[in-house]
């Protein structure tokens, strides 16, 4: 006669996570959404899709627990913790310790009374996945790949009881433990073709490496390691509402959504289905999340429609290890309330903008560096890679030659759109000391509100010309004029002091004209006209250099004399002549303002062709004198005559101002 006690299996699932289903239940967010594969972006439940690890911003830490209420136990259960780290720009790694991923069956004692020595046998069978790791790498801005490994442990404790009869009957107990372990490796792919769509592809149990095997007697207790393929996708219907779905060749799948309500609160809801379960929809998950700064708190509830075998006990004949694909989510998993905390450290902000390219208009001329604070030196093309409209600011910086990055005005960019932002630069005095053309690294930074840190940055070569280099444009030549240069002021004051007696007898409107004549003759007497040292029009001496070297070419003389006149309050202007048929023969000469009213032009010259009537800085018409500096060594009168003739030929006769071959640029 054989007597059987009630046979049952005590099932303790200390925490649930991803196995057949893609998402891992270690994350309440994953539980709530259900279809989590395409939305993995940190170390939470990274085994669902390790490619999503590239979404880690810097350091990432998370831990979770849940409340278990079953026939065999109840209370809080520690599920596990994970940590992730971004490596350089395109890679990330993560580790997870999860003692809660555990499944245990206890086959109760079965006593046999037949035979001389009645015996019984019971077994405790446990499955664990205590460790996992993952690595993700971004191949491009849209595509990432990843690999993860999960360590599985299989333990069978075989206990035998033997009743030993005799004067004193006692029970002899013999316990044997058998262990098996293996690593299951998964592959993941994440593809984001744009800011609204996210797609994923995964392979589960692609490779298995078994370290230890259970004895042949327990082969039937080894869990299934069948490979499966999972595909998932997510779509941002609006910036605050995302839907997701996924399916597996293991005949399971899920759909869900995430709704960001504002105030950093998010609601989620997911539905799980399985072809092998009855009903077809076998579970529903809901979740709520709240974030503040670098902390995220989440809570979820997982409810199974069919409660059979989910209370911690079932009949032994229903247990089939080969039918269990997952330690975490299977027919014995019970309803549970889960909680998690996630903390981010280091660069804890999600990037909102990306630099698509930088275009600099040309090199930096030290002579005109001040104007670059207002005139763009180039543009940076920026794309909004977020799902929300953003305000973007761009700034530019060159080490040593700038005290701090120069920031442009913010611009508004819609999701997945791009725009060009002008770059300006405030250089310091060091840039004037660059002796010759050089190349430095310029850095372009981009930041998007509401964050303050940089979302992206781009380094581009910046060509900085030597301090004497000139771009050949008359508008830029005026930046070489330095009336406040100490050498220039000292020079003009010395000359005027030496001639104060003769100038003192001149009163009225002719004062400026006579001072200009005196300065010019003194200037001309000490200088000689020489060719540009580079035999080109791209090298200009500063006034102090011309005075020191006592020589220069047309541009040098014009700049120097303009500086002298401006230092004593006499306005000047450059006359730029560019013959249309022969632009290589372009030429520059000078005009200076006498301050004399045109009504008294006869005091200047009886020949009106020898002067020009034009408005000064105050908008008042006065008489201006043309000066050709190339004949400076011949004295003021000869330079005036030559300049007047050239102005008459090019402007009056040749209609240069009308045709555009002549341009006058004031130097105030």
**Bridge partners (DSSP) listed for residue 577:** 587, 662
The CA distance from 245 to 199, in Å, is 10
pLDDT digits (tens, 9 = 90+) for 123-159: 788 889 999 999 999 998 899 999 999 999 989 888 7
Closest by CA position to 141, among listed 354, 378, 393: 354
Q: Is 249 strand, coil or helix?
A: coil
Residue 23 contacts residue 85 (beta carbons within 8 Å):
no
The CA distance from 315 to 11, in Å, is 11
561 φ, ψ to 5°?
Answer: -65, -35
Confidence of residue 29 (pLDDT cuts 50, 70, 90): very high
Give percent of the chain above pLDDT 90.
45
Give percent of the chain above pLDDT 70.
86
> What mean pLDDT is predicted for residues 366-382?
88
Q: Domains in the chain, start-ordered, CATH in brackets?
A: 9-345 (2.40.160.40), 353-464 (2.60.40.10), 474-667 (3.10.620)
Give the pLDDT of residue 4. Answer: 31
The 10 Å CB-count burial string (b at 16+, else e) for 157-190 is ebbebeeeeeeeeeeeeeeeebebbbbbbbbbbb
Q: CB-based contacts of 497: which residues, under 8 Å, 6+ apart?
A: none
Q: Is 443 strand, coil or helix?
A: strand
The CA distance from 230 to 246, in Å, is 7
The CA distance from 637 to 627, in Å, is 9
Q: Which residue has the tokens 């409107």?
A: 509
Question: Using alpha carbons only, what angle is made at residue 201 by residues 200 and 205, rounded to the nearest 5 degrees?
Answer: 135
Q: Which residue has the tokens 């990274």?
A: 46
Whole-model pTM over 0.85: no
The per-residue pLDDT of the chain, averaged, comes to 84
CA dihedral 326, 328, 330, 334 (to 10 degrees): 170
Whether 592 shows a pLDDT value over 80: the answer reads yes
Closest by CA position to 283, among listed 275, 294, 273: 273
SS (H, E, C) 614-630: EECCCCCEEEEEEECHH
Confidence of residue 640 (pLDDT cuts 50, 70, 90): very high
What one-character-per-residue DSSP string does 604-661 give?
T-S-GGGSEEEE-TTS-EEEEEEE-GGGGGG-HHHHHHHHHHHHIIIIIIT-HHHHTS
Closest by CA position to 446, among listed 437, 458, 435: 458
Whether 81 shows a pLDDT value over 50: the answer reads yes
> What mean pLDDT is predicted for residues 299-308?
89
- Report the DSSP pairing between strands 336-345 and 418-423: unpaired
> What mean pLDDT is predicted for residues 400-404?
92
Distance of alpha carbon 355 from its chain centroid, rounded?
7
Ramachandran class of 422: left when φ > 0, alpha when ψ lies in -120 to 50, beta otherwise: beta
């Amino acid at each position: 006669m054989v007597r059987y006690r009630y046979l049952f299996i005590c099932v303790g699932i200390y925490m649930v996570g991803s196995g057949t289903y893609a998402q891992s239940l270690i994350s309440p967010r994953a539980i709530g959404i259900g279809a989590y594969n395409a939305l993995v972006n940190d170390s939470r439940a990274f085994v669902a899709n390790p490619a999503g690890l590239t979404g880690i911003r810097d350091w990432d830490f998370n831990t979770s627990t849940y409340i278990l209420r079953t026939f065999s136990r109840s209370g809080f259960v520690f599920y596990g913790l994970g940590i992730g780290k971004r490596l350089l720009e395109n890679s990330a790694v993560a580790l997870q310790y999860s003692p809660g991923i555990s499944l245990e069956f206890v086959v109760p004692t079965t006593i046999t009374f037949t035979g001389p020595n009645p015996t019984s046998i019971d077994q405790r069978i446990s499955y664990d996945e205590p460790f996992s790791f993952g690595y993700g790498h971004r191949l491009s801005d849209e595509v990432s790949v990843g690999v993860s490994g999960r360590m599985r442990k299989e333990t069978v404790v075989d206990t035998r009881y033997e009743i030993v009869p005799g004067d004193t009957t006692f029970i002899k107990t013999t316990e044997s433990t058998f262990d098996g372990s293996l690593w299951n490796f998964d592959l993941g792919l994440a593809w984001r073709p744009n800011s609204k769509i996210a797609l994923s592809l995964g392979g589960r149990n692609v490779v298995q490496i078994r370290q230890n095997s259970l004895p042949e007697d327990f082969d039937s207790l080894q869990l299934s390691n069948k490979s499966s393929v999972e595909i998932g996708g997510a779509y941002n219907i609006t910036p605050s509402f995302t839907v997701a779905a996924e399916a597996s060749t293991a005949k399971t799948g899920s759909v869900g959504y995430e709704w960001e309500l504002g105030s950093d609160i998010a609601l989620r809801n997911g539905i799980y289905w399985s072809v092998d379960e009855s009903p077809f929809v076998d579970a529903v998950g809901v979740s709520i999340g709240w974030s503040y700064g670098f902390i995220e708190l989440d809570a979820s509830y997982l409810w199974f429609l069919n409660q059979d075998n989910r209370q911690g006990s079932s009949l032994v004949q229903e247990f089939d290890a080969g039918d269990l694909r997952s330690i975490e989510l299977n027919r014995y998993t019970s309803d549970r309330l889960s909680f998690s905390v996630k903390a981010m450290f280091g660069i804890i902000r999600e990037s909102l903008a990306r630099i698509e390219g930088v275009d600099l208009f040309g090199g930096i001329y030290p002579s005109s560096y001040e104007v670059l604070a207002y005139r763009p030196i180039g543009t940076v093309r920026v794309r909004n890679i977020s799902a929300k409209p953003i305000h973007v600011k761009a700034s530019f910086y060159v080490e040593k030659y700038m005290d701090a990055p120069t920031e442009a005005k913010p611009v508004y960019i819609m999701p997945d759109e791009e725009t060009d932002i002008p770059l300006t630069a405030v250089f310091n005095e060091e840039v004037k000391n660059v002796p010759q053309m050089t190349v430095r690294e310029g850095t372009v930074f981009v930041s998007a509100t509401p964050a303050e840190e940089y979302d992206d940055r781009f380094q581009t070569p910046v060509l900085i010309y030597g301090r004497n280099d000139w771009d050949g444009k008359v508008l830029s030549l005026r930046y070489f004029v330095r009336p406040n240069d100490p050498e220039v002021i000292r020079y003009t004051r010395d000359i005027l002091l030496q001639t104060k007696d003769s100038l003192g007898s001149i009163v009225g409107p002719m004062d400026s004209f006579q001072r200009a004549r005196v300065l010019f003759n003194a200037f001309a007497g000490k200088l000689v006209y020489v060719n540009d040292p580079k035999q080109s029009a791209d090298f200009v001496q500063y006034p102090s250099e011309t005075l020191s070297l006592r020589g220069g070419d047309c541009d040098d003389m014009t700049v120097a004399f303009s500086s002298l006149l401006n230092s004593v309050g006499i306005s000047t202007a450059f006359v730029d002549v560019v013959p249309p048929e022969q632009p290589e023969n372009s030429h520059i000469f000078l005009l200076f303002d006498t301050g004399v009213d045109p009504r008294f032009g006869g005091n200047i010259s009886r020949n009106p062709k020898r002067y020009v009537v034009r408005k000064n800085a105050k908008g008042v018409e006065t008489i201006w004198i043309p000066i050709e500096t190339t004949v400076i060594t011949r004295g003021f009168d000869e330079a005036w005559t030559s300049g007047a003739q050239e102005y008459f030929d090019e402007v009056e006769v040749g209609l240069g101002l009308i045709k555009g071959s002549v341009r006058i640029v004031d130097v105030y």
